[in-house]
């Protein structure tokens, strides 16, 4: 019972931390011209991804505030070999690969031999709570459109960098 309560508390803390970080990034997006409806690629301001994600990724909020209810658009820039372990989100999301290539798989375990490669221009819709993972084959940028608040829940506790251990 205590272990379950600790996991629930840890998940709540992680979600609140992710929401707070993405909310602060949304404020900088307004300075990029997002409030005018456009952001040129050269003007995108990248910041370190939230600590709930593996190190090495960068994120930019292009529209909305992912920490609040309502639509948002963010981009994620990752180095070659970057892995987002199996996870899920509460809300639906739409993914578009802007550049590079990813292995994209569904399920609770990473298996790139069975995961299709998605490349620039690819689009994929994910229903809320669909279990999935990504592994970057090259430096890549993926755009995520969804409705907030945005959250990440890892399937395997050992992949959760914010978990109480």
Interval 46-95: pLDDT, tens: 999 988 889 999 999 999 999 999 999 999 999 999 999 999 999 999 99
Neighbours of 41 (CB within 10 A): 8
Domain count for the chain = 1
Q: Which domain holds residue 61?
A: 2-159
Q: Residue 68 maps to which CATH number?
A: 2.60.120.10
Task: Output the pTM of the full model.
Answer: 0.77
Task: Report yes or no on 15 lying in a domain.
Answer: yes
Q: Which two tokens stand for residue 118?
A: 């998605």
Token pair 């109480």 is found at 164
Q: Which two tokens stand for residue 143?
A: 């755009």
Task: Report yes or no on 164 lying in a domain.
Answer: no
Task: Report yes or no on 154 lying in a domain.
Answer: yes
Task: Report yes or no on 165 lying in a domain.
Answer: no
What is the Cα–Cα distance from 78 to 54, expressed in whole angstroms? 10
């Amino acid at each position: 019972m205590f272990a379950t309560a600790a996991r629930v508390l840890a998940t709540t803390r992680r979600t609140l931390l992710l929401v707070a970080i993405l909310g602060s990034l949304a404020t900088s997006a307004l300075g990029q011209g997002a409030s005018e409806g456009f952001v040129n690629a050269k003007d995108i301001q990248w910041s370190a991804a939230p600590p709930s994600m593996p190190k090495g990724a960068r994120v930019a909020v292009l529209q909305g505030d992912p920490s609040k209810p309502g639509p948002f658009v963010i981009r994620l820039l990752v180095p070659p070999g970057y892995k987002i372990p199996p996870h899920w989100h509460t809300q639906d999301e739409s993914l578009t690969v802007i550049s590079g290539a990813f292995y994209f798989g569904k399920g609770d375990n990473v298996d790139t031999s069975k995961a299709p490669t998605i490349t620039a221009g690819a689009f994929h819709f994910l229903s809320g709570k669909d279990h999935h993972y990504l592994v970057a084959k090259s430096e890549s940028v993926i755009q995520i459109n969804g409705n907030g608040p945005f959250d990440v829940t890892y399937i395997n506790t050992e992949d959760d960098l914010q978990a109480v251990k």
